[in-house]
């Protein structure tokens, strides 16, 4: 089977799998799944689908995968759809199962690399709809470094009375406080999730979708579309076709995911008031593609970028309402015109970011979701990278200013999320406490669980301004309040958070970016000498392997560092 030069250039990986007499058996297998003689001459495009009916975030992605496959086929490729996993944070939060959440990011990246590397796909479309499958998809695409486009599955619509999943979590705390009875909680539970799509605020899914679009790895507009819409279907078809254009031009993820592209992503995340998980995931994605990105970069970019979006969890509006006024493209145009984005970055359209934004119209007059630069929600970043004797290698806080910028309180120490949750709901936790939830880091948890249940209980109990929470775990994009996560080194590695005792004074300063334990160096050294590492919680299986290989959260909690 001979090919012309143009086809050979686009078929770098599939040709060794299907060309020539020696590959007759390979072709025989593919004929059984629908290949014809003509299909063997086409570039093969893998469509990585994260479909599953176990979560609303991903329940519709099988249909979106078929749209992307059609787009690739119509553009002259031959598509093959394959699945990777998803888990549901919303279902698993507050349980042992949540330890698998961040782990799933690595499994997804591994599985996409494994399938595409084995089968010889020339290009890829990856479709993600929930927190971990988005960075997981991106890490898989970056490892393979073949022409690729990421597609976001889209946002959910608001529930009854402008509710969403966070409304349900906070209703539990409100019930404990006595503000809601069981019938009222059940009414919220029954109506907050009306159908397919990712959680509706600027939580981690919408944050990461926006970051990936800002980075140039999604088609313009992909991050701000309703999950069930013709616009989203068109986005999927366009992505399939775009991969063929990228193949023609030999544009790979490493050409797009540059240092300046990551700076663009960070800028947009800050302007949107996005999730702390973006720090973890962007560090991981940068590590995977070989870009030098550190916690300090978030500090420097944060000094010049304001928070402009009044979006949940700390704001009022949902992603579907931002979709209705134009999504993030007008915001990106504002940032570009202000000199805050690198317009010369290449994108999956084959054009630069500035070229993509050239004809974008501004937001409609009178909207109040995206504020003007002279009236920001916050003048600088809400993502605060804190250092101090409690976190020598860095911690991540989300401080919008609404909860204040300084907190000093007495430590109340817990060795698990469940223990803390019980003490919040039963009234043990009171104003002035700094909850310390430790041994929940990447190695110690293992898996770095999100503390969404405790933070939601704190808000529901009306303690959002009176209690702080610090952890070597992490937070949901839906968490808000005075919270600090990703404390490194983590407790399981003997970090200072392991040495905190009940009653110690802790100070968190989100202006000077410090987190300090008011204990002398001599006393800390005495405690360090007495400390003993706890035995591993898992000795076999996925969590054990993860615990042995995972890096610090300050390095993105990746499992494939050299």
Write the secondary structure of 201-226 as one string of H (helix), E (strand) and C (coil). Answer: CCCHHHHHHHHHHHHCCCCCCCCCCE
**484: CB partners within 8 A, 6+ apart:** 386, 395, 396, 397, 468, 469, 470, 471, 508, 515
Phi, psi of 468 (to 5 degrees): -110, 160
- Answer for the pair 380, 303: CB distance below 8 angstroms, yes or no: yes
Tell me which H or E stretch contains 4. Answer: none
3 state SS of 412: strand
Where do we find the tokens 């402008």?
A: 162
3 state SS of 80: strand
Query: What's the longest Cα–Cα distance across the chain?
Result: 76
Q: Is the peptide bond before 557 cis (omega within 30 degrees of 0)?
A: no
Rounded to whole angstroms, the Cα distance separating 205 from 86 reads 13
3 state SS of 102: helix
Check if 476 is active-site: yes
Q: Which of 88, 275, 476, 554 is catalytic?
A: 476
Rounded to whole angstroms, the Cα distance separating 138 from 126 reads 8
Rounded to whole angstroms, the Cα distance separating 454 from 441 reads 16
**120: CB partners within 8 A, 6+ apart:** 13, 14, 15, 16, 17, 18, 44
**Cβ atoms within 10 Å of 195's Cβ, excluding its own:** 13
- Answer for the pair 214, 267: CB distance below 8 angstroms, yes or no: yes
Tell me the catalytic residues. Answer: 476
């Amino acid at each position: 089977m001979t090919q012309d030069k143009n086809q050979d250039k686009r078929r770098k990986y599939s040709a060794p799998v299907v060309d020539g007499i020696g590959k007759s058996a390979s072709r025989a297998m593919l004929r059984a799944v629908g290949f014809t003689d003509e299909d063997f001459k086409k570039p093969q495009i893998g469509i990585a689908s994260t479909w599953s009916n176990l979560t609303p975030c991903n329940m519709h992605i099988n249909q979106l995968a078929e749209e992307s496959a059609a787009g690739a086929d119509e553009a002259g490729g031959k598509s093959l759809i394959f699945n990777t996993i998803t888990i549901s944070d919303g279902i698993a939060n507050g349980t042992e199962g949540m330890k698998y959440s961040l782990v799933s990011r690595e499994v997804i990246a591994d599985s996409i690399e494994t399938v595409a590397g084995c089968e010889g796909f020339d290009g890829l479309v990856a479709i993600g709809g929930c927190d971990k499958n988005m960075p997981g998809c991106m890490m898989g695409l970056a490892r393979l470094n073949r022409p690729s486009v990421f597609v976001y599955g889209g946002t959910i619509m608001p529930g009854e009375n402008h509710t969403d999943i966070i409304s349900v979590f906070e209703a539990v705390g409100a019930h404990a406080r006595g503000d809601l009875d069981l019938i009222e909680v059940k009414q919220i539970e029954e109506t907050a999730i009306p159908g397919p799509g990712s959680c509706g605020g600027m939580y981690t899914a919408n944050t990461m979708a926006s970051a990936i679009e800002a980075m140039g790895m999604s088609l313009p507009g992909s991050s701000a579309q309703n999950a069930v819409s013709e616009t989203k279907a068109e986005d999927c078809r366009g992505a399939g076709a775009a991969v063929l254009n990228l193949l023609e031009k030999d544009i790979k993820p490493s050409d797009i995911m540059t240092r300046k592209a990551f700076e663009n992503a960070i800028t947009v995340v800050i302007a949107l008031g996005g999730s702390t998980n973006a720090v973890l995931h962007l560090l991981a994605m940068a590590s995977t593609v070989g870009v030098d990105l550190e916690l300090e970069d978030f500090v420097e970019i944060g000094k010049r970028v304001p928070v402009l979006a009044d979006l949940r969890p700390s704001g009022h509006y949902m992603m579907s309402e931002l979709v209705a006024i134009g999504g993030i493209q007008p915001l990106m145009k504002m940032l570009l015109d202000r000199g805050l984005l690198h317009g010369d970055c290449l994108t999956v359209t084959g054009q630069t970011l500035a070229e993509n934004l050239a004809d974008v119209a501004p937001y409609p007059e009178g909207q109040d979701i995206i504020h003007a630069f002279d009236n920001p929600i916050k003048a600088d970043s809400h993502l605060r990278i804190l250092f101090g004797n409690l976190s020598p290698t860095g911690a991540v806080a989300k401080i919008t200013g609404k909860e204040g910028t300084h907190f000093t309180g007495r430590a109340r120490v817990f060795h698990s999320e469940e223990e803390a949750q019980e003490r919040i709901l039963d009234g043990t936790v009171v104003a002035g406490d700094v909850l310390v939830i430790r041994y929940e880091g990447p190695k110690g948890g293992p898996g770095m669980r999100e503390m969404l249940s405790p933070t939601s209980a704190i808000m529901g109990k009306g303690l959002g301004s009176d209690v702080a929470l610090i952890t070597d775990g992490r937070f949901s994009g839906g968490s808000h309040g005075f919270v600090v996560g990703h404390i490194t080194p983590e407790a399981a590695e003997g970090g200072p958070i392991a040495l905190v005792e009940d009653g110690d004074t802790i100070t968190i300063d989100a202006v000077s970016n410090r987190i300090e334990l008011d204990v002398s160096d001599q006393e800390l050294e005495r405690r360090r000498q007495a400390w003993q590492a706890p035995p591993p919680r898992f000795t076999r299986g996925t969590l054990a392997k993860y615990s042995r290989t995972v890096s610090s959260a300050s390095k993105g909690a990746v499992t494939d560092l050299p």
